[in-house]
Structure formats: structure tokens, C-alpha cells
Amino acid sequence: MKYIDEFQDPELARRLLDEIARTVTRPWAMMEVCGGQTHSIIRHGLDQLLPDTVELIHGPGCPVCVTPLAVIDKALEIASLPDVVFCSFGDMLRVPGSDRDLFRVKGDGGDVRVVYSPLDALRIAQRTPDKQVVFFGVGFETTAPAIAMTVHQAKRLGVRNLSLLVSHVRVPPAIEAVMRSPDCRVQAFLAAGHVCSVMGTSEYPALADTYRVPIVVTGFEPLDILEGIRRAVRQLERGEHHVENAYPRAVSAQGNPVALRVLREVFTTTDRTWRGIGTIPDSGWRLSDAYRDYDAEHRFDITGPAAAEPAVCRSGEVLQGLIKPHECAAFGIICTPRTPLGATMVSSEGACAAYYLYRRLSPPHTEEKASVD
Amino acid sequence: MCLAVPGRVVGIEERNGTSMARVDFGGVVKDVCLAYLPEIEVGEYAIVHVGFAIQRLDEESALATLRLFERIGALDEEFGDAWARAAAESETASEEENR
């Protein structure tokens, strides 16, 4: 009662939950990849409404969370330079570097600006030709095309005082890394819907086949997630492992062909370090050689300080689904959304912040279950 | 930032050789680049992420999502003043540290 009345269509939610409960005959664990999905699941208490036998494991799908400390430190170093306008999405402001954040750099006199779109940074560069404008390019495949088009336009328009600090990551290699972990408990994936809006679903059949794991493309509204879970459970119970699209209103198999073309022109894949997880082969984008002049790391002589993450922070294990946020000793005590140790707490889409905000301080399946009636 | 929000295209114009739209997100109107969805027309709905339209969406789904986002405060998170939010959070953090 506590949660289900908040649904857009409580009756449909009830029917989906009933069908999941009827279908499931033994325990299953599935991972939602997208941080927006994690946020929605915890906020609406979906994990409490599900049968005890269906466990949701929270995946590494928050780009803010997985941006390495060393890259944050580079951003802070560049943003502190004179004659630099440093532009970023708002949710990077409070991500802690080794000793400060972008908010502090701004307070200390740095020209740090929050923009809604990377095209805003291009406009700032056009209006302030005497400054170097740097944009912090963070995000998954949903965000990367916007950055790609910005660089593409800068080159086309001959704008030379714009560069990008790029830390883009790709979802499929992260899924592969999760499956290859010796501690992996994941038996199915709810794939991130808006990543697939851009990329389509062509990268997933090989993964589903190789690791014999169902992959269901899922939206992030409560009913979308329940439908994704229903389909994943159905496959698991039948012993199937293929790709299903449970979010067809926003995802087609081929994705967005125009975006893919620009993405592949401007970026090339590269090994990328994920905060708390380590290096995953081929898991990121970097600017291709044709756009190397727009790479801030190439343009500015920065090394970034030797960065070490706080030893007590277990966000890496949270990101891999090995522990739940409240199983970390620092959770809610010395690590809160206002005093975060790791980025899973500082980003509103991080699993730790979602657990903290919605007061999920004990394991979901030991709490009193929320009633569906 | 992860969020992609549906909005209704209310106007289209060419700017710097690029097709740009004015898009209404339940009252908040923003400039949106149509480079990745060039065929969309005024009156249609699109999913928009960091200022780029990435996929068409039917009206019913778009309005349902906008209502949900409005209720859970996601629109404010996406379009509100990020500096004001960060400042408020930092002030509260300082107060907690001083306690």
C-alpha cells in the first residue's frame, strides 16, 4: 500500500507483480544496469514488492559514479587554470576529487560554469575567443553523441578555443566485466533503455549467447522495470537466454543511425578505468585522431596528482553488485550525500545515495514486505 | 544527467547550419538540437538528453512520463539551478561538520 498507489497504473503494476510471483519457482538474481533504474527501484520500493526469490543487484550504470578520481583531479586542475572557462553538467560539481570539488574551485575564483548541453560550451567558446573553453565530457552512450556533435560542429565552424576532457564509458563491456567476475551472481540483465535508444540492441545478442544470460532492454519508470523483470524471470524459468526489447516506444533494434555515424566518426573505443572497479578493456570512448586537437588532455600539460581513493569506501564493490550499499561500514555514518566518500553517494543516481535517501538501511528481504493489496 | 526527458517540439529553425528546435518540457522551454532526429516536426514529441533529441515518442507515453517526472521532482533536478542546489547542499554539509 505504501508504494503501489504511487504508480501511474496501480492495477497494471499489481497484475505484473502477480504474474512474476506465479512464474517464479526458485531464486533468481538480476542486475539493472542503469542508475536511473536503480533510483526508480529504490524510490518506489520495487524490490520490496517483488517475491523474496527475485533479487535486484544494482549495476555500474551511473557515469558520474564511475568517473575515476584521477580524471576528476585533472578536471579540477584544468578548471583552476587562468584564462580557462570550465563547463560541466551540474551533477559533476560535488563529485569529490582528492582534495576538493568543482564547487570549491569556483569558490576559489575559477571560472566554472554549469551548462545544460555541451552546445552551450560551444556558444561560450564563440563568444569568448580570448579564453580556452573546456567541457567535461562524462556519460554513457546516451550522452556521447551530444559531445560528438559538439566537437564535430566546433571543427566545422572553425572554433579553436574549445576542447573536451573526455571520460565516456560504454555499457556492453561493463556487462561483460560483471559476468567475468569470479564472484558474479548475476543471472539476467535489465539493459539501460536510453543507451539503447541511441545504440540499438545489436551489441547484446553475442553477450547473451556467450554468457548464457537473458538481457531485457528496459525503461526506467516503475511499470517499465516491472515489465523488464517479468520478461527476465520468464526467460530464466524457461532456461532461455536471448535479447528482448521491453521498451519499444523508445528503442528500436537499429538505434539512432545518424547519431551512430557521428559517434563513430568523432570517437574511437579505448580501454577505460572505472572508479572502484579498475580498467575494463575497450570500455570507453576517446576522441579519434582526426579530432585530437580538441582533446583537453592533449591541449593542456596536465598530469593530475597521484590519486588514491579512500580506503574505507567500498563503492567499487557496490558498483559490481558484490555488496549492497548499507553493508559498507561507512554508509550513513561518515559517508552521506552531503559528505560523500565515493561517487556512488554523491550522485543522486548512485546506489548508495538512493539507499540513503529512501532510508533503506537494512537488507530489503529482512524488512517487512510492502503489501500489494 | 542520465535522465532523458520527453518534450514537445513547438518550433524549428536553422541556426549555424544546424536544425534546432524549441522544445516544451511541461512548461520549461529549452533549445534542442535536432541533428540526430532531423525528420521530426512541430507538434511531435521526442526524448531529449543534454540538449539533443535522440528518439521520437508517442504523445501518450510522453505525457505520462512528464507527469511522473513532475511528481517525483525530476524536472527540477534536470532543469533547476545546479549551482543553487550544490550551494545549499554544501551549506548543510558545513553545518553538519560544525556540529
- Tell me: the pLDDT tens digits for A186-238? 999 999 999 999 999 999 999 999 999 999 999 988 899 999 999 999 999 99
**Predicted confidence (pLDDT) at residue A352 exceeds the cutoff of 60:** yes
CA distance A97 to A91: 14
Which residues in chain B are contacts of A61 at CB distance < 8 A?
Answer: 2
Is the Cβ–Cβ distance between A228 and A38 less than 8 Å?
A: no
pLDDT band at A370 (very low <50, low <70, confident <90, very high): very low
Calculate the alpha carbon distances from A67 to A215, A223, A275, A313, A339 in Å: 25, 30, 6, 15, 18
pLDDT: is B68 or A169 the higher one? A169
Write the DSSP symbol of residue A371.
Answer: P
Q: Stretch A97-103: mean pLDDT, rounded?
A: 90
pLDDT tens for B33-89 read: 999 999 999 999 999 999 999 999 999 888 877 777 777 676 777 777 777 776 676
Interval A239-262 mean pLDDT: 96
Residues of A in contact with B97 (CB under 8 A): 339
B91 touches chain A (CB under 8 A): no
Rounded to an integer, the average pLDDT of A90-111 is 91
What domains can be seen in chain A, in order of their start residue? Answer: 5-61+171-245 (3.40.50.11750), 64-169+255-299 (3.40.50.11740), 315-368 (no CATH)
* Alpha-helical regions (H) of A96-199: 102-107, 118-127, 144-157, 171-180, 193-199
Task: Give the closest residue to A63 by CA, choosing from A157, A121, A113, A136.
Answer: A136
Residues with Cβ within 8 Å of residue A227, at least 6 apart in sequence: A16, A218, A246
Task: Chain A: give the shortest CA distance to residue B11, in Å.
Answer: 18
Question: Using 50, 70 and 90 to split pLDDT, how confident is the model at A55?
Answer: very high
Query: Which chain A residue shows the shortest CA-CA distance from B30?
Result: A116
- Phi and psi (nearest 5°) for B8? -105, 130
Residue B63 sits at the chain A interface (C-beta within 8 Å): no
In the structure, what pLDDT confidence band is assigned to residue A21 with cuts at 50, 70 and 90?
A: very high
Distance (Å, whole) CA A232 – CA A153: 41
User: Do A149 and B33 lie within an 8 Å CB cutoff?
Assistant: yes
Contact A360, A369 (CB under 8 A): no
Considering only CB atoms, which chain B residues are within 8 Å of A221? 64-65, 68
Residue B68 C-alpha, separation from nearest chain A C-alpha, in angstroms: 7
What is the rounded distance in angstroms from the CA atom of residue A90 to the CA atom of residue A321?
A: 27
ipTM of the complex, rounded to two decimals: 0.88
Cα A115 versus chain centre, distance: 19
